[in-house]
Structure 1
Amino acid sequence: MANTLYPESYYAASANDVPARPALQDDVETDVCVIGAGYTGLSSALFLLESGFRVTVLEAAKVGFGASGRNGGQIVNSYSRDIDVIERTVGPKQAQLLGHMAFEGSRIIRERVAKYNIQCDLKDGGVFAALSAKQMGHLESQKRLWERFGHTQLELLDQRRIREVVACDQYVGGMLDMSGGHIHPLNLALGEAAAVESLGGAIYEQSPAVRIERGANPVVHTPQGKVRAKFIIVAGNAYLGNLVPELAAKSMPCGTQVITTEPLGDELAKSLLPQDYCVEDCNYLLDYYRLTGDKRLIFGGGVVYGARDPANIEAIIRPKMLKAFPQLKNVKIDYAWTGNFLLTLSRLPQVGRLGDNIYYSQGCSGHGVTYTHLAGKVLAEALRGQAERFDAFADLPHYPFPGGQLLRTPFAALGAWYYGLRDKYGF
């Protein structure tokens, strides 16, 4: 499918009005050129505009075309590797800063939705569901860890309590995070783009960055135009390609698959998830699901390394859905799609600067919805000269994948096979 349209998905079919945005066809001068109109780029642009910068956003396809408009729509706090792992990696001082930032992304999303009146079906409450006593033990220590960093909206759920919030008999318990929740992710991106434009920011679609001229006054070239800027923010994530070779070697696009049922009706929907919380299990290769505003079930899971589109998404994901909810066996699947996210070897985000004026953030490793909103704030702070929080991320180690681009996919797939065995046999 051509990049002029969104890939087929429930989100594209139920999106709010999408204004036509032109391709860049001339030379533009700006303070900051943002490459990518997903959450990282839009969040950066909004914080910068609110601070008085002139901002131009270049998007290769359409606003929210990548992971921002295709993800599971779950607001999940912290990072893909939790704060205790960060503490062991970088020491207590840096971990303290990163730990306090781990819950900021969800607050930023709610502030944006309220301030700019974004219609995106925002609902509060996310559940981590444990499939074994060992996973329940991890949730208990995770609660203690998060509370150490001031995060208090957490409740442990025993087997009886988790049955009250999700009609699935696989779980032995869980943890409810009331500052978690869920949204229509494409409508959140579209609302943020409208906010960017309301503050005087310019967004050009169908305008891929094909080359960056580095130097004291960097220039970003598109097929038909160019942007001269004081600063550049690279926010392409899994859709960046080889524009910045230094970043491509240290990350790998991966695909995740999502299906959406036909509308279930109020009664069946309420019987599955009575409080309308979203749920993810505690497996390494996890399943996640939630209800939409019009009472469909969105169910996602599985990872395809190297970001190939699998032939039959429904065949991969429907059995997982029926394992959780056998009562849906006669329910029709209306939509099935895949989207790419960017995996790093450490599973921690990669943040940094190339030269004096090119900033980047990438590699949310599946925790992108909240992290990207925080990243936008941290990047904007760095451009304003407040670099302490930026430096805390920039100092995290970046590792290239062993064997370079040739071997990174089989290497990661081997790791996934191993973790799949761990999930299955609980070791």
Structure 2
Amino acid sequence: MKQTHIDSYYAATRNHTGDFPTLEELVECDVCVIGAGYTGLSSALFLAEAGYSVTVLEAAKVGFGASGRNGGQLVNSYSRDVDVIEARYGDKTAEVLGSMIFEGADIIRQRIQHYDIQCDYRPGGIFAALNKKQLKGLTEQKNSWERYGNKNLRMLDATDIKREVGCDNYVGGLLDMQGGHIHPLNLALGEASAIIGLGGKIFEQSAAVEITYGEPITVRTAKGVVRAKYLLIAGNAYLPQGLDNRVTSKSMPCGSQIVVTEQLPEKVARSLITNNYCVEDCNYLLDYYRLTADNRLLYGGGVVYGAREPDDIEQLIKPKILKTFPQLKDVKIDYRWTGNFLLTMSRMPQFGRIEKNAYYMQGYSGHGVTCSHLAGKLISEMIRGDAERFNAFASLPHMPMIGGRTFQAPLTAMGAAYYAMRDRFGI
């Protein structure tokens, strides 16, 4: 059955690019990429720029998954920041990974400028602290990020953040001008157009159903075949079970929900977020929000473990909006949707090699917008013969999810509930 983009604000306001064809032939190429989300698109674009012939297979539409559904925030670093990496993996690993924590956002800005991608980019992101413990953590984060080269950070006290965000809940925050926000689906579509412009091929409605490893690797779809020297599996949370269980066994899809309000008057929009930065709080189960280009409030939060579709997204998110902005009690919700991201036990991305000429990259654990773009650069370096930076990630242990497939969702939810309680009491 043909799959279309979900009914989201992004789909309703996407740039028109037309449909990409369905694979109904034999294609031979240097690199076959499974998945047309950010990981696959970034990888294909870097490789096409380097002169490789690339073919991207997408089961649905370009940007169908998390890449076209996320909050649109360019958040630097990984789901676990450098201090955790230092404590867990040692100073040497932290130094290597830390040197890359701002590179993903830089890549996105370079892509936008070089290929003239119209995706509503706006600079600046705020981490908002709800208590003194979180504010202390942001001070430590600022010091850590400055050690790794980010000089565009500013601490906000209670008065400062009140000027930026029309909310009384925050005691301070951290402004990162190397962050920002975008229309994520339009970024994906722009990158896809760039790949085509460089001679790459993208096929939609062309799910990979069988992989035969060898030299070359053969990937079959329902109606076609790709033969390639290299394979990259980049399906993330939307990669089907059974295609290669070595890739899917050590991670768990999780759902996050987003709503978008009706259009707001300019004065009202600016009273919510004065300088059009994006905002996320510092809770373990965090809320995030921003204004769209047409002055709507986009607000997301909550996690559904195991990627179940919640019964009423608006009922989940509207109370969060009103807790942040009680002045919006009469504002209507025009769009609501859910999307899946891929969670790992360590909360660090999983990069690896599964055969001599086959690789995977996945599991950004909520930090996929920027890290997936970095991933594309690293796999291109790997295939071109420079494996050092890819291997820095690949050497991290990929721990199995506690409880296996049967119990991982409820056990993870229990752990999250514990941390949510700590958030509530500021401990």
- TM-score range with shorter-chain normalisation? over 0.9
- TM alignment of 1:121-132, pairs within 5 A: 121-132=120-131
1:396 is displaced (CA, Å) by 0.9
Question: Helix, strand or coil: the match of 2:414?
Answer: helix
Alpha-carbon distance in structure 1 between the residues aligned to 2:273 and 2:84 = 32
Q: Is the 8 A contact 2:150 2:178 kept in 1?
A: no
Determine the structure 1 residue equivalent to 2:376.
376
> Could you give the per-residue CA deviations for residues 268-325 of structure 1, whole angstroms, max 9, x where no partner exists?
0011111000000000000000000000000000000000110100000000001000
1:395 is displaced (CA, Å) by 0.7
1:88 is displaced (CA, Å) by 1.9
> Could you give the per-residue CA deviations for residues 77-111 of structure 1, whole angstroms, max 9, x where no partner exists?
00000011111222212211100101000000000
More off after superposition, 179-188 vs 208-217: 208-217
Question: Helix, strand or coil: the match of 1:141?
Answer: helix
Alpha-carbon distance in structure 2 between the residues aligned to 1:143 and 1:155 = 8
Determine the structure 1 residue equivalent to 2:162.
163
1:5 is displaced (CA, Å) by 1.2
Determine the structure 1 residue equivalent to 2:197.
198
5+ residue gaps in structure 1?
none
Question: Helix, strand or coil: the match of 1:101?
Answer: coil
More off after superposition, 121-130 vs 240-249: 240-249
Letter in 2 for 1:125: G
5+ residue gaps in structure 2?
none
Q: Is the 8 A contact 2:118 2:187 kept in 1?
A: yes
Alpha-carbon distance in structure 2 between the residues aligned to 1:202 and 1:166 = 44
Determine the structure 1 residue equivalent to 2:228.
229
Letter in 1 for 2:9: Y
User: TM-score under structure 2 normalisation?
Assistant: 0.99
- TM alignment of 1:2-401, pairs within 5 A: 3-242=2-241, 243-401=243-401
- Deviating runs (4+, > 4 A) in structure 1? none
More off after superposition, 91-100 vs 323-332: 91-100
> Could you give the per-residue CA deviations for residues 385-414 of structure 1, whole angstroms, max 9, x where no partner exists?
100000100011100112211111111111
More off after superposition, 397-406 vs 377-386: 397-406
1:3 is displaced (CA, Å) by 4.7
Determine the structure 2 residue equivalent to 1:426.
426
Letter in 2 for 1:96: E
> Could you give the per-residue CA deviations for residues 348-390 of structure 1, whole angstroms, max 9, x where no partner exists?
0000111111111000000000000000000110000100000
> Could you give the per-residue CA deviations for residues 209-233 of structure 1, whole angstroms, max 9, x where no partner exists?
1111012211111111110000001
Q: Is the 8 A contact 2:42 2:372 kept in 1?
A: yes
User: TM-score under structure 1 normalisation?
Assistant: 0.99
- Structure 1 residues 263 and 231, CA, compared in 2 at 3 Å: closer, same or farther? same
Question: Helix, strand or coil: the match of 1:409?
Answer: helix
> Could you give the per-residue CA deviations for residues 129-175 of structure 1, whole angstroms, max 9, x where no partner exists?
00000000000000111111111110000000001110100000000
Corresponding pairs, count: 426
Letter in 1 for 2:215: A
Alpha-carbon distance in structure 1 between the residues aligned to 2:148 and 2:37 = 29
Alpha-carbon distance in structure 1 between the residues aligned to 2:88 and 2:160 = 35
Alpha-carbon distance in structure 1 between the residues aligned to 2:192 and 2:4 = 17
More off after superposition, 213-222 vs 35-44: 213-222
The percent identity for this pair of structures is 62
Alpha-carbon distance in structure 2 between the residues aligned to 1:142 and 1:6 = 37
More off after superposition, 195-204 vs 2-11: 2-11
Alpha-carbon distance in structure 2 between the residues aligned to 1:71 and 1:6 = 13
Alpha-carbon distance in structure 1 between the residues aligned to 2:406 and 2:322 = 36
Alpha-carbon distance in structure 2 between the residues aligned to 1:412 and 1:110 = 35
> Could you give the per-residue CA deviations for residues 171-215 of structure 1, whole angstroms, max 9, x where no partner exists?
000000001000000000000000000000000000001111012
> Could you give the per-residue CA deviations for residues 35-72 of structure 1, whole angstroms, max 9, x where no partner exists?
00000000000000010100000000000000000000
Provide the aligned C-alpha RMSD in A: 0.8
